[in-house]
């Protein structure tokens, strides 16, 4: 049996990177009082029809759906924001102040698998719900920037735009369609399909010929009302105050229908056309569309597979191995070892107990391969004479200690290992 195409097992040597990402996100987002939320991976298909938009690629050809035993149309969630909005309404979180929420979990889209893109993928995202203030936009962009800096990934640029209000976009779309109709046959196939359904997405096309045609197309920025212009100007002003570098890209749009006003992306400098590692913006009408009160919101999401594919070489992670390996021989030693294990547990010292009934020589070979710094040896001789043997695997020496001195000896071993790590500059 093989894993399904587009899915991937995250093995122990890889999961350390996922734990690192989670811990860094928790640390940074907690500073800004963002609280973690976890929503189900299955939702009603209607939730995404009403939020994402039926003309989007996600809904038309990428979403995993099925009918359950109660004849309900169910979807595996393709993104996180709609589920957060649904939870916000269900639990009446609008009765409280601004909600700052973050999540990390699996999403599902039937896409062509490639490096950094899977059919089951994971997103880290944040949602700031309840504020129209441009400061909220600046806060979430700052947090994405802080997070990427914290994990020591710096090979990216930030692009920002305003896609204005629904009225702004309607006027713009009409003129954009008029401009593109004479070039319809020259557009790429996806853009031809979008022309009369979702023409704004054509701006996001990666096709060179389509981009050449768009060079003389009307600019969305000229259709923005005063309020949208002022909002974008303030967001940019706050980013300047934060000394965050960015470019205003008036062709930047987001692929989901619920976005309005601010849109932004973090794009890697290290990859080709699929270079967006973080995307987000405002969605001030989404909660009302789903039956909740009129509630503004802004947020972003980062695709973790793509981020790790791009940034993994830049992450400096100390792989925490075991400090102590435990070798025993004889039933008396195997009964006595649990006392020593309780000491290790209490001191939170990482260890591995050898579970093979081999002689000490074979156990010590496994100890050397384990990466442990020391091996505790307990056999018949140690039990009869009430001592413990310690083999320093990192120093190639062995000695005996009194059982009562075990804790003191463990602290010495920990200290020497920490000092060595500091000298080599290893980072957790």
Pick out the residues of the known binding site: 79-81, 109, 123, 127, 254, 258-259
117-134 burial string, b = 16+ CB within 10 Å, else e?
bbbbbbbbbbbbbbbebb
CA 231 to CA 195: how far, in whole Å? 29
Cβ atoms within 10 Å of 185's Cβ, excluding its own? 6
List residues forming the annotated binding site for L-histidine.
Answer: 79-81, 109, 123, 127, 254, 258-259
In angstroms, rounded to a whole number, what is the distance separating the alpha carbons of residues 357 and 270?
Answer: 51
Tokens of 17: 């990177």
**Neighbour count for residue 10 (Cβ, 10 Å):** 13
Torsion 101-102-108-110 (CA) sign: positive
Distance (Å, whole) CA 48 – CA 65: 11
Distance of alpha carbon 130 from alpha carbon 114, whole angstroms: 37
Tokens of 334: 């195997």
d(CA 333, CA 380): 7
Count of beta carbons in the 10 Å neighbourhood of residue 69: 5
Return the HEC string of 45-98. Answer: HHHHHHHCCCCCHHHHHHCCEEECCCCCEEEECCCCHHHHHHHHHHCCHHHCCC
| 3-class state of residue 299 by DSSP | strand
The secondary structure of 387-407 as a DSSP string is EEEEEETTTTEEEEEEGGGHH
Helix (H, G, I), strand (E, B) or coil at 281: strand
Helices and strands: H and E segment counts in the chain: 15, 16
Do 115 and 271 contact (CB within 8 A), yes or no? no
């Amino acid at each position: 049996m093989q894993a399904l195409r587009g899915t991937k097992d995250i093995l122990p040597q890889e999961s350390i990177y996922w734990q690192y990402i989670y811990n860094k996100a928790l640390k940074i987002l907690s500073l800004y009082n963002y609280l973690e939320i976890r929503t189900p991976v299955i939702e009603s298909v209607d939730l995404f029809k009403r939020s994402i938009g039926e003309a989007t690629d996600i809904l038309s050809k990428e979403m995993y759906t099925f009918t359950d035993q109660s004849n309900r149309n169910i979807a595996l969630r393709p993104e996180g924001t709609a589920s957060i909005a649904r939870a916000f309404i269900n639990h009446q979180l609008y009765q409280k102040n601004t909600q700052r929420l973050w999540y990390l979990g699996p999403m599902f889209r039937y896409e062509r698998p490639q490096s950094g893109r899977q059919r089951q993928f994971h997103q880290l995202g944040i949602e700031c719900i309840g504020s129209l203030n441009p400061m909220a936009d600046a806060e979430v962009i700052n947090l994405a920037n802080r997070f990427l800096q914290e994990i020591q990934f710096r090979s990216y640029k930030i692009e920002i735009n305003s896609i204005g209000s629904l009225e702004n976009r309607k006027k713009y779309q009409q003129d954009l369609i008029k401009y593109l109709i004479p070039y319809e046959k020259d557009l790429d196939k996806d853009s031809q399909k979008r022309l009369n359904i979702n023409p704004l997405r054509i701006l996001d096309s990666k096709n060179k010929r389509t981009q050449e045609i768009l060079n003389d197309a009307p600019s969305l920025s000229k259709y923005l009302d005063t309020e949208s212009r002022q909002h974008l100007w303030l967001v940019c002003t706050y980013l300047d105050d934060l000394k965050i570098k960015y470019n205003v890209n008036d062709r930047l749009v987001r692929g989901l229908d619920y976005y309005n006003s601010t849109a932004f992306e973090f794009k890697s400098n290290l990859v080709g056309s699929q270079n967006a590692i973080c995307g987000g913006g405002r969605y001030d009408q989404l909660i009302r569309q789903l039956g909740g009160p009129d509630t503004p919101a802004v947020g972003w999401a980062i695709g973790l597979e793509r981020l790790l594919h791009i940034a993994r070489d830049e992450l400096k992670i100390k792989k925490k191995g075991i400090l102590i390996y435990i070798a025993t021989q004889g039933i008396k030693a195997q009964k006595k070892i649990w006392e020593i294990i309780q000491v290790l547990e209490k001191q939170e010292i990482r260890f591995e107990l050898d579970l093979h009934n081999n002689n000490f020589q074979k156990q010590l070979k496994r100890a050397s391969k384990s990466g442990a710094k020391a091996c505790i040896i307990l056999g018949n001789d140690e039990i009869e004479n009430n001592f413990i043997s310690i083999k320093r695997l990192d120093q190639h020496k062995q000695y005996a200690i009194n059982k009562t001195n075990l804790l003191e000896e463990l602290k010495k071993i920990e200290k020497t290992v920490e000092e060595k790590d500091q000298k080599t500059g290893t980072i957790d």
